[in-house]
Amino acid sequence: MDLSWMAWTWPTAIFFLSILALLVAMAVWEYFSPGGGPRIGIFGFETTRGDRLFIALLGAAFISLGWLGLTELSLWWALALSLVYAVGVFRLV
């Protein structure tokens, strides 16, 4: 498949497809278990699964941008740090 119409690369396409897959999985989860289990985490405000996913994705974006701007190391390390951050968000926030 030719993705050059928008200067896309396969890693970029996979990245956006992964986000789409996360959103679809969350929608299916919400369909079968409505409500998202709201809870109050360490910040003191109520969040649902969708809120925590949004916070994790936003944090991962900032981690990746900071990684690109501040280090010369591989982005795989930023991915690993983002996954650790996401686990922390889902468990604590």
Query: To which residue do tokens 């109050």 refer?
Result: 40
Q: For 11-47, how does the pLDDT look when each residue is reduced to its tens digit (9 = 90+)?
A: 778 888 999 999 999 999 889 988 777 899 898 889 9
User: How big is the CA angle at 24 (ends 93 and 10), to the nearest 5 degrees?
Assistant: 100
More confident: 2 or 27: 27
Q: What percent of the chain has pLDDT over 90?
A: 57
Extract the tokens encoding 39. Answer: 């809870």
Query: Within its chain, how far is the Cα of 35 from the centroid?
Result: 20
More confident: 49 or 88: 88
Q: Cα-flanking dihedrals φ and ψ of residue 92, to 5°? A: -110, -25
Q: What is the pTM of this model?
A: 0.81
Q: What percent of the chain has pLDDT over 70?
A: 94
- Average pLDDT over the chain reads 89
Domain-wise residue ranges, the chain:
1-34, 36-93
